[in-house]
Amino acid sequence: MVELIKLEVVKLCRRKLTVMVTLCCFAGTVIFFLLPYLQFHTWDETGNMLSGKAAVLYRKEIYIHTLSGVLTEERVTQDINEYQKIFSDLNNLTSMRGGEVTLKDDVYYKYFEPRRSYLNMIGNAYSNNELGSSNLLNVSLNNGAQFYEARHRTIVERISDSEDLNKLEKNYWIQKALAVDTPFEYGYALGWSNFGSASEMLIICIIGICIAIAPVFAEEYRTGTASIILSTRYGKNKVITAKIISALLFSTIIFLINAFIAIAIPLLTFGAEGGDLPLQIASISSPYGVSFKEAVLLCIVIDYIVMLGIVSITLFLSSKMNSPFSVLVVILLVIIIPLFCPFCKETSLLPAMATLGTSLYEYYISFCVGNIVINQVAMIVIVYMIVFAIFLPLTIRNFKRHSSI
């Protein structure tokens, strides 16, 4: 059996299509996950734009000396108070065309720009309007910031107003959000957050894998060797098993290499600091109590399970159709068409939506099975494991039956 698997792996890897697609996958992963670093820029206190390594080092210094630390009620109250004082001082303000009032350039670059992400995160805890720091001007500090109470009220309001959730689901999400540990620790985690923002591009790797394995069975039909294989002593058992194992082994190796590249690039360029920080400092309303590191690793696991499901469908189609091209057309339609669909509960389990990376942890999407509520992340795992378990046996049955064609 081992020799048969080796033979099938070699056969798969020697195809020109496999080599070309694999190289394209690696190149695409490098490009897509390097882009955030190449496009990254910030401004120093004098308004000079920094980019690349200089921008990363400057941003790290800001976090270390100004922003890092536990978000206690006292700290948040102090920071909001400082923000309100700066905006209440007319000497710090200027009028823009159209009458809009904003900070003068020197105040903006010295005070606001270094704290922009932090202040927007704090501001979004007080409202679902996504106005960020602008919300802080309306926060009453008579009884302190009440930051965590405000976050909870905002989440409850968001859940209560949702028309996509029933009463059982609403209770589930409220309890899940309440279970998130507080107070949050704030700090530098750009390496991890930038992977999260680009991780949806791993769908390109999954598409490449499907293209490479599409001919596994269909090519045997096209060349007429399927009948010969099926007439041999081990054709209907060991050879089929070897083909499936080799396809899964190839898919796993290619996926893991791409995933390693995808994680390594942002961590090497932006730094690996902040992996243990809570995901809420990037998405304040997230109901999932996970750190950046845990979220990223879970994303890789989810993408891998989705990949296994799609690969099993590809192998099924390959065992069903006489042309690798037909297999590619169907599988690409399954993956690509949902890219043009709006993200909602009905589309959230489709391949393109199920591989959105850490963005999945921002949504309150769930499914009810009787009285059991299953969140979107768990449902993705369940659905694609079921898909995998169903389509592999069907693949074996289809190829065995081909002897009668």
CB 129 within 8 A of CB 153: no
pLDDT at residue 221, rounded to an integer = 56
pLDDT at residue 233, rounded to an integer = 55
Instruction: Give the position of tokens 């845990």.
Output: 294
Domain presence at residue 52 = no
CB 289 within 8 A of CB 181: yes
CA R_g for the chain? 26
Domain presence at residue 60 = no
What total of structural domains would you count in the chain?
A: 2
Q: Kindly state the average pLDDT of the residues 70-96.
A: 92
Q: Kindly state the average pLDDT of the residues 63-69.
A: 92
Q: Kindly state the average pLDDT of the residues 32-47.
A: 92
Tokens of 342: 């709006």
Average pLDDT of the chain to the nearest whole number: 87
Confidence band for 404, pLDDT divided at 50, 70 and 90:
very low
Domain presence at residue 43 = no
**Are both 27 and 85 inside the same structural domain?**
no
Q: How far apart, in whole angstroms, are the C-alpha atoms of residue 91 and residue 80?
A: 19
**Are both 146 and 294 inside the same structural domain?**
no
Tokens of 332: 């690409």
Q: How far apart, in whole angstroms, are the C-alpha atoms of residue 38 and residue 270?
A: 11
Mark residue 181 as left, alpha or beta (left: phi above 0; alpha: psi -120 to 50; beta: remaining).
beta
Task: Choose the weakest-confidence range: 55-64, 213-222, 298-307, 325-334.
Answer: 213-222
Give the CA count within 13 Å in the CB-facing half-sphere of 240.
27
Domain boundary (135, 154, 180) is at: 180
Q: Kindly state the average pLDDT of the residues 249-272.
A: 95
**Are both 15 and 117 inside the same structural domain?**
no
**Are both 264 and 391 inside the same structural domain?**
yes
CB 132 within 8 A of CB 120: yes
Instruction: Say which residue, 2 or 150, is predicted with more confidence.
Output: 150
The string of pLDDT tens digits covering residues 141-194 is 999 999 999 999 999 999 998 888 999 999 999 999 989 999 999 999 999 998
Q: How far apart, in whole angstroms, are the C-alpha atoms of residue 250 and residue 215?
A: 13
pLDDT at residue 226, rounded to an integer = 46
Domain presence at residue 249 = yes
**Are both 107 and 208 inside the same structural domain?**
no
Q: How far apart, in whole angstroms, are the C-alpha atoms of residue 284 and residue 326?
A: 45
Q: How far apart, in whole angstroms, are the C-alpha atoms of residue 314 and residue 195?
A: 28
**Are both 237 and 150 inside the same structural domain?**
no
Among residues 222, 225, 201, the alpha carbon closest in space to that of 24 is found at: 201
Cβ–Cβ contacts within 10 Å for residue 89, how many?
Answer: 10
**Are both 160 and 260 inside the same structural domain?**
no
pLDDT at residue 236, rounded to an integer = 57
Confidence band for 285, pLDDT divided at 50, 70 and 90:
very high
Which amino acid is located at 301 in the chain? V
pTM of the entire predicted model? 0.90
**Are both 285 and 400 inside the same structural domain?**
yes
Tokens of 355: 């591989």
pLDDT at residue 366, rounded to an integer = 93
Is it the case that residue 229 has pLDDT exceeding 60? Answer: no
Residue 126: give the domain boundaries. Answer: 69-180
Domain boundary (180, 209, 242) is at: 180
Is it the case that residue 398 has pLDDT exceeding 80? Answer: no
Q: How far apart, in whole angstroms, are the C-alpha atoms of residue 61 and residue 56?
A: 9
CB 260 within 8 A of CB 200: no
Q: How far apart, in whole angstroms, are the C-alpha atoms of residue 345 and residue 164?
A: 8
pLDDT at residue 129, rounded to an integer = 84
Domain presence at residue 45 = no
Q: How far apart, in whole angstroms, are the C-alpha atoms of residue 296 and residue 294?
A: 5
The string of pLDDT tens digits covering residues 380-393 is 999 999 999 999 99
**Are both 312 and 331 inside the same structural domain?**
yes
Q: How far apart, in whole angstroms, are the C-alpha atoms of residue 375 and residue 369?
A: 11
Out of 117-121, 224-228, 315-319, give the one with best mean pLDDT.
117-121
Is it the case that residue 322 has pLDDT exceeding 80? Answer: no
Instruction: Give the position of tokens 């499914």.
Output: 367
**Are both 76 and 100 inside the same structural domain?**
yes
pLDDT at residue 223, rounded to an integer = 53
DSSP 3-state assignment of 142?
strand
Domain presence at residue 61 = no
pLDDT at residue 348, rounded to an integer = 85
Q: Kindly state the average pLDDT of the residues 37-42.
A: 92
Q: How far apart, in whole angstroms, are the C-alpha atoms of residue 125 and residue 291?
A: 18
Q: Kindly state the average pLDDT of the residues 127-134.
A: 87
Domain presence at residue 92 = yes
Q: Kindly state the average pLDDT of the residues 34-57.
A: 92
**Are both 257 and 148 inside the same structural domain?**
no
**Are both 170 and 222 inside the same structural domain?**
no
Q: How far apart, in whole angstroms, are the C-alpha atoms of residue 62 and residue 110?
A: 11
Domain presence at residue 134 = yes
Domain boundary (162, 180, 198) is at: 180
Cis check for the bond before 183: say yes or no (omega within 30 of 0).
Answer: yes
Among residues 204, 43, 185, 25, the alpha carbon closest in space to that of 111 is found at: 43
